[in-house]
Copies of this chain bind each other. A is one copy, B any other.
Amino acid sequence: MNFKKVAIIGLGLIGGSIGLAVRKELPDCVTSGFDADAKVRERARELQLADDIHDDPAEAVKGADLVILCVPVGAMASVAAAIAPGLSPDCVISDVGSSKRSITDALTKALPDHTIIPAHPVAGTEHSGPDAGFASLFHQRWCIITPPQGAPEDKVHALVDFWEGLGAMVETMDADHHDRVLAVTSHIPHLIAYTIVGTASDLEEVTRSEVIKYSAGGFRDFTRIAASDPTMWRDVFLNNKDAVLEMLDAFLTDLALMREAIKAGDGEMMHDTFSRTRAIRRSIVALGQDDPRPDFGREHD
């Protein structure tokens, strides 16, 4: 089976990109869209992020065989309630959120009679809103699907095909494992970046203007992900608390060891650690998950 009509609820970076990607890559599939913000709906119409943009979420999902919720994790339950009156009985409810256990629970509770198959495209930029989307966002990126036990196989396959159709590579795993993996590869990096950018802006000894001027020493890399959407990220930390705290504590233990090494002048320990980390970078580049050019391909002229 293939999905014939996809409803996209939330037309920011990810929702907008899905709309544009479907039009480009899956031209036989119709899209409808909704966003809670009237200004976003207006802009989404101008940008034609979906074939039809509705003012009522229940209208937007009418006739859709796939509904994708592209809203902050904390808004999933209320959005599910808002679309419920318009849902076709056999439609698949999916999402793009970054914490799968809490979303699975929230959607299953809100829509107990529907097929829930959560998904998470590991893709994005630091920009948000309807103008941030683009059709190739999911190319060569992984999309993780976390089918709950008993999810109908044909519908899971259809969702896999859908994401592969948008250019993604798909992996399925258990929701709890997803939450641990993403805590490491996404949530802790964002938490650290937000925190160090905050620390640097509040120092007494070094001015904010100095931090900005000399950011090319490494700091500027952290400011990119620290410019991500605050509401989205607040909800991620509220909804993936256990895995985030577990990984944060692993990091804090390692950072304390590094602090001791610096204090003790233990150059050997530092050199060992700093030598091992190069291999990971090489593997990421070899797997097509980052730009092979130095400095992310930043322009130097």
State the A residues within 8 Å of B (CB): 74, 98, 122-127, 132, 134, 136-137, 139, 141-142, 144, 171, 177, 180-182, 184-201, 203, 205-206, 208, 210-228, 230-231, 233-235, 237-238, 241, 244-248, 250-252, 254-255, 258-259, 261-263, 265, 267, 270-271, 273-278, 280-284, 287, 289-291, 294-301
Say yes or no: B224 contacts A296, CB within 8 Å: yes
Cβ–Cβ contact B184 & A274, under 8 A: no
User: Which residues on B sit within 8 Å (CB–CB) of A254?
Assistant: 195-196, 198-199
When distances are taken between beta carbons in the complex, the residues of chain B under 8 Å from A141 are 216
Query: 20 A-B Cβ contacts within 8 A?
Result: A141-B216, A142-B213, A180-B206, A184-B199, A186-B218, A187-B217, A195-B251, A200-B280, A201-B276, A201-B277, A201-B280, A205-B246, A212-B284, A213-B287, A218-B225, A220-B290, A230-B271, A230-B274, A237-B270, A252-B255
Contact between chains at B185 and A215 (CB < 8 Å): yes
Q: Give Cα distance in the complex from A44 to B230, angstroms.
A: 48
Taking a contact as CB atoms closer than 8 A, the residue among B136, B218, B241 that contacts A262 in the complex is B241
Q: Which of B180, B217, B281, B300 meets A186, CB within 8 Å?
A: B217
Which residues of chain B have C-beta atoms less than 8 A from A203's C-beta?
184, 247, 250
CB distance from A198 to the nearest CB of B (A): 5
Residues of B within 8 A of A274 (CB): 194, 226, 228, 230, 233-234
